[in-house]
C-alpha cells in the first residue's frame, strides 16, 4: 500500500487546510491526477496523485488543518488487491511505515522534499476510551469519555449550539454524524436555525462559513490568506517608514493609443489597457531609478538592488488580497506583458495561484481604479521598497493648450520605504511614470 502525506509546499509553510477531495474511496486514479485541494496561508494548491492505483483510504475530512508530513490518502497500486476498509484514523494509533518509506515519498514538482522540522511527532497508541490525559495525582478520578465526531461535525455543532455530550452516536465506534447534530438543532418548525443553512465545507476558493449571533453580528474565522495578509501589512506598516506621493496626469494620449491598438490587427487577442501601459512604464522607469526596485536586508546590513523586475500585481480574490508577480517583467514586450497580467489575475481569482508565483516580487502595482477609487496610500508589500496605486481614469475639465477641455485624467500614488528611497528619488520615479502616461512617445527618450 502506498501512503501519500502532505508535502512541503514551500515558503516555510508547515500546515494547510484540506478544502476538498476530488476522489473517493474505491476510485481509480492516474499518476499526477488532481486528488485534492488544500489552502495554505498564501494560495489554493491542487495536489496530484503520486502514483496510479485505487484509493483505499482518506485520512482527513474537508475543513481539517493538516501538518506537513501528516497522512492524507492511501493507495493500492495497480495490480495489487485493495485491502478492506480500515478503522477510522481517530480510533487507532498511526501506522508506522516501513523503514525508508518516507525517504522514497514523491513530492510536488517545484516544492522540494519534506523537511525534518515539518514532520509531525507520532503519538502513542491509545484505546477508544483513552481520550483524556491521565491525572497528575493518584486519587482515582472517573473518566469522562469525549464525544466522537469529525472536525466538520464538531464545527457544525458549535455553530448550532448543540452539546455533543448529549448525543448518542450511531456511527462506527459511536461516532456522531452530521444528521444527528442537525436533528438535535431542528426547532418546532422543522427548520434548521438561519445561521446553520448552508453550513459545512465551503467551496474551493471561498471563505469559511461565518457564524451569525442572535444580535445579528457575524463572526468569521481568521484563516488562510486573510490572516497572512493581516500579519504582512502590520509588519510592513510598523517596520518600514512609509511616504506617499501623488501625481495627477492627463492620460488622453495614452487612451488614444489604447483605442488605436484595439483597432489594429497586430493586437490580435492581446488585452492591452491602462494597467498594461503602467506596468511597462514601471519596468522602464526602474532603470532610471533603481532604488525603487530594492529591499532592506537588516540582517546583512545591506540594501539589495535587484537586477530584474519581479512585478507584483495586487489581485482581489474571494479568499482575500493576493500579490502574485511576473518574473523578469522588464524583458517582456507590451503584448507579452498584457498576456502575463491577464493570466496572473485570472489564475489568482480562480484560486489556482501556486506558492512559487507569490515569491520573488520586487515592486508592486495596485489597481484601485477598477473599484472607482481615485487615489490611496497603499501599504508596501513586505520586503519591497515601493508600490504604485493606479486610480480611476475620469473625464475632467483640464487645462490643455491654453484652454479648458474635457480630458482623460488619472491619479498615481507612490508609497515608498524612506530608508531606501529619498524624496528626490521617489519623486523622479513618479514623474517618469506620469510623463510616459501623458505622452507615450516620451518612452523613446528613456530607453
**pLDDT tens, 211-270?**
666 666 777 666 666 666 677 777 777 788 899 999 999 999 999 999 999 999 999 999
Contact 152, 63 (CB under 8 A): yes
* Model confidence pLDDT, tens digit, residues 333-353: 999 999 999 999 888 888 778
H helices of 172-212, where? Answer: 178-185
- Name which residue leads in pLDDT, 102 or 227: 227
- Continuous segment of H or E residues that includes residue 259: helix 252-263
Count, residues in the chain: 447
In the predicted structure, residue 90 carries a pLDDT above the cut 90: no
Least reliable range by pLDDT among 9-13, 81-85, 347-351, 405-409? 81-85
pTM: 0.60
> For residues 314 and 91, what is the distance between their CA atoms, to the nearest angstrom?
45
The DSSP-derived string for 364-408 is: EEEEGGGGT-----PPPPTT-SEEEEE---EEEEEEETTEEEEEE
What pLDDT does residue 181 have?
Answer: 80
What pLDDT does residue 21 have?
Answer: 92
* Model confidence pLDDT, tens digit, residues 351-407: 778 777 888 899 999 999 999 999 999 999 888 999 999 999 999 999 999 999 999
Planar angle of CA 37, 227, 19, nearest 5 degrees: 15
What are the phi and psi torsion angles at 365 (to 5°)? Answer: -115, 135
Nearest to residue 199, comparing CAs of 184, 216, 181?
A: 181
Clarify whether 28 is annotated catalytic. no
Q: How sure is the predictor about 169, in pLDDT bands with cuts at 50, 70 and 90?
A: confident
Nearest to residue 272, comparing CAs of 284, 282, 260?
A: 260
> Which residues have a Cβ under 8 Å from the Cβ of 434 and sit 6 or more positions away?
247, 249, 412
What count of Cα atoms within 13 Å lies in the side-chain half-sphere of residue 428?
A: 15
The pLDDT > 90 percentage for the chain reads: 45
What pLDDT does residue 192 have?
Answer: 54
- Name which residue leads in pLDDT, 357 or 186: 357
In the predicted structure, residue 201 carries a pLDDT above the cut 50: no
Nearest to residue 233, comparing CAs of 314, 309, 310?
A: 314
Cα of 167 vs its chain's centroid, Å? 38
Nearest to residue 434, comparing CAs of 410, 404, 418?
A: 410
The pLDDT > 70 percentage for the chain reads: 71
Strand ranges (E), 49-149: 53-58, 65-67, 71-77
In the predicted structure, residue 30 carries a pLDDT above the cut 80: yes
What pLDDT does residue 112 have?
Answer: 39
What pLDDT does residue 310 have?
Answer: 96
What pLDDT does residue 211 have?
Answer: 60
Q: What is the mean pLDDT of residues 127-140?
A: 41
Q: What is the mean pLDDT of residues 124-151?
A: 46
- Name which residue leads in pLDDT, 144 or 155: 155
Q: How is residue 107 written as a grid cell? A: 513530492
- Continuous segment of H or E residues that includes residue 93: none
* Model confidence pLDDT, tens digit, residues 34-48: 899 888 766 778 888
Contact 276, 334 (CB under 8 A): yes
Contact 16, 9 (CB under 8 A): yes
Mean pLDDT of the chain: 78
Q: What is the mean pLDDT of residues 125-149?
A: 45
What count of Cα atoms within 13 Å lies in the side-chain half-sphere of residue 178?
A: 13
Contact 412, 432 (CB under 8 A): no
Amino acid at each position: 500500500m502506498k501512503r501519500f502525506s502532505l508535502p512541503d509546499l514551500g515558503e516555510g509553510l508547515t500546515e494547510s487546510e484540506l478544502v476538498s477531495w476530488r476522489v473517493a474511496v474505491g476510485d481509480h486514479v492516474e499518476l499526477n491526477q488532481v486528488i485534492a485541494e488544500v489552502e495554505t496561508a498564501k494560495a489554493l494548491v491542487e495536489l496530484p496523485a503520486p502514483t496510479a492505483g485505487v484509493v483505499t483510504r482518506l485520512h482527513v475530512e474537508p475543513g481539517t488543518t493538516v501538518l506537513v508530513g501528516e497522512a492524507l490518502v492511501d493507495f493500492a497500486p495497480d495490480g495489487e488487491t485493495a485491502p478492506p476498509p480500515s478503522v477510522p484514523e481517530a480510533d487507532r494509533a498511526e501506522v508506522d511505515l516501513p523503514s525508508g518509506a518516507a525517504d522514497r515519498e514523491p513530492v510536488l514538482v517545484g516544492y522540494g522534499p519534506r523537511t525534518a522540522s515539518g514532520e509531525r511527532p507520532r503519538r502513542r497508541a491509545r484505546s477508544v476510551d483513552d481520550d483524556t490525559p491521565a491525572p497528575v495525582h493518584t486519587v482515582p478520578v472517573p473518566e469522562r469519555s469525549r464525544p466522537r465526531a469529525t472536525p466538520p461535525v464538531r464545527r457544525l455543532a458549535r455553530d448550532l449550539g448543540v452539546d455533543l455530550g448529549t448525543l448518542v452516536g450511531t456511527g462506527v465506534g459511536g461516532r456522531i454524524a452530521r444528521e444527528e447534530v442537525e436533528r438535535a438543532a431542528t426547532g418546532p418548525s422543522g427548520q434548521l436555525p438561519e445561521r446553520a443553512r448552508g453550513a459545512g465545507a465551503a467551496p474551493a476558493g471561498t471563505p469559511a462559513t461565518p457564524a451569525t449571533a442572535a444580535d445579528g453580528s457575524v463572526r468569521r474565522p481568521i484563516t488562510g490568506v486573510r490572516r497572512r495578509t493581516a500579519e504582512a501589512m502590520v509588519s510592513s506598516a510598523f517596520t518600514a517608514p512609509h511616504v506617499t506621493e501623488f501625481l495627477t496626469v492627463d492620460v488622453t494620449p495614452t487612451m488614444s493609443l489604447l483605442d488605436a491598438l484595439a483597432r489594429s490587427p497586430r493586437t490580435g487577442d492581446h488585452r492591452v489597457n491602462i494597467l498594461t501601459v503602467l506596468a511597462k512604464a514601471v519596468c522602464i522607469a526602474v532603470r532610471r531609478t533603481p532604488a525603487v526596485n530594492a529591499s532592506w536586508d537588516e540582517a546583512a546590513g545591506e540594501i539589495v538592488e535587484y537586477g530584474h523586475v519581479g512585478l507584483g500585481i495586487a489581485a482581489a480574490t474571494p479568499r482575500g488580497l493576493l500579490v502574485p508577480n511576473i518574473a523578469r517583467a522588464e524583458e517582456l514586450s507590451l503584448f507579452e506583458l498584457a498576456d502575463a497580467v491577464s493570466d496572473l489575475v485570472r489564475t489568482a481569482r480562480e484560486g489556482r495561484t501556486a506558492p512559487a508565483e507569490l515569491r520573488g516580487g520586487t515592486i508592486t502595482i495596485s489597481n484601485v481604479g477598477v473599484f472607482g477609487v481615485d487615489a490611496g496610500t497603499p501599504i508596501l508589500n513586505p520586503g519591497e521598497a515601493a508600490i504604485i496605486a493606479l486610480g480611476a481614469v475620469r473625464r475632467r475639465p483640464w487645462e490643455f493648450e491654453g484652454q479648458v477641455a474635457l480630458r482623460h485624467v488619472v491619479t498615481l500614488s507612490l508609497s515608498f520605504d524612506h530608508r531606501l528611497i529619498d524624496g528626490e528619488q521617489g519623486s523622479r520615479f513618479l514623474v517618469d511614470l506620469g510623463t510616459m502616461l501623458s505622452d507615450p512617445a516620451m518612452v523613446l527618450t528613456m530607453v
